[in-house]
Amino acid sequence: MDPFDKSSRSAEYTRLTFDVDADLSSLFNWNTKLLFTYITADFSAPGFDTNRVVVWDRIIRNERQAKLRLRRHHNKYAVRNFAQTFEGVEGANLTLHVNPVPYLGIMYDKPVLSIPFVIPRAPPVDKAKAKAKAKL
C-alpha cells in the first residue's frame, strides 16, 4: 500500500487554503512569555457530534511576530474525519485560538475569531478503476 496514493487511502482528507490578518501584539504585557496560536476546523458528522482538528499552529515569541499576515496559506496538519469520509458533513467553522503563556499564573484559551466554511468534497472515485490502478 502506498500511503501517498489517494486510491489506496482508507479515509478522505481535505486541504484548506486560508488567509489570516491579525494583530495580537496587544496580548503581550509584562507577564506574557509567548503566545501559542492555532487554527481549528470544527464540524459535526453523522455518528460523531463534535470534531475538532488543529489545522495550523505557531508560537509567537514577541510583539513583532504578533502581527500575523498569511496569504493563501495551507493547513499544516491533515484534516480527516473519524468516519473516514466527509459525507454528511454540511459545514464547518475555522477558529483562530490564542493561548497566552504567562511567566507566572494560569494559561487560558482565547478563541479570537470563528468563520464558517464548506469542506470541499472530492469527486466520487470509480472503485474498479482505482483497484486496477493500484495493481499497476
Cross-strand pairs, 37: 58, 98
Could you write out the three-class secondary structure of 15-42?
Answer: CCEEEEEEECHHHCCCCEEEEEEEEEEE
Nearest residue to 59 via CA among 34, 94, 23, 33: 34
| pLDDT at residue 132, as a whole number | 56
Contact present, 58 and 91 (Cβ < 8 Å): no
| pLDDT at residue 1, as a whole number | 38
Q: How far is CA 42 from CA 39, 107, 112, 113, 119, in A?
A: 10, 22, 14, 13, 11
Please state the separation of Cα 22 from the chain's center in Å.
17
| pLDDT at residue 71, as a whole number | 94
Higher pLDDT, 92 or 123: 92
This prediction has a pTM of 0.77
In the numeric block, which cell numbers belong to residue 135? 495493481
Domain range list for the chain: 6-135
Question: What is the Cα–Cα distance from 112 to 35, expressed in whole angstroms?
Answer: 13
Percentage of the chain beyond pLDDT 90 is 42
Per residue in 3-42, pLDDT (tens digit) is 445 554 577 778 888 999 999 999 999 999 999 999 998 8
Look-up of cell digits 494560569: 106
- Three-state DSSP state, 81: coil
**Under CATH, to which class is 6-135 assigned?**
mainly beta
Per residue in 59-68, pLDDT (tens digit) is 999 999 999 9
Round the average pLDDT of the chain to a whole number and report it. Answer: 82
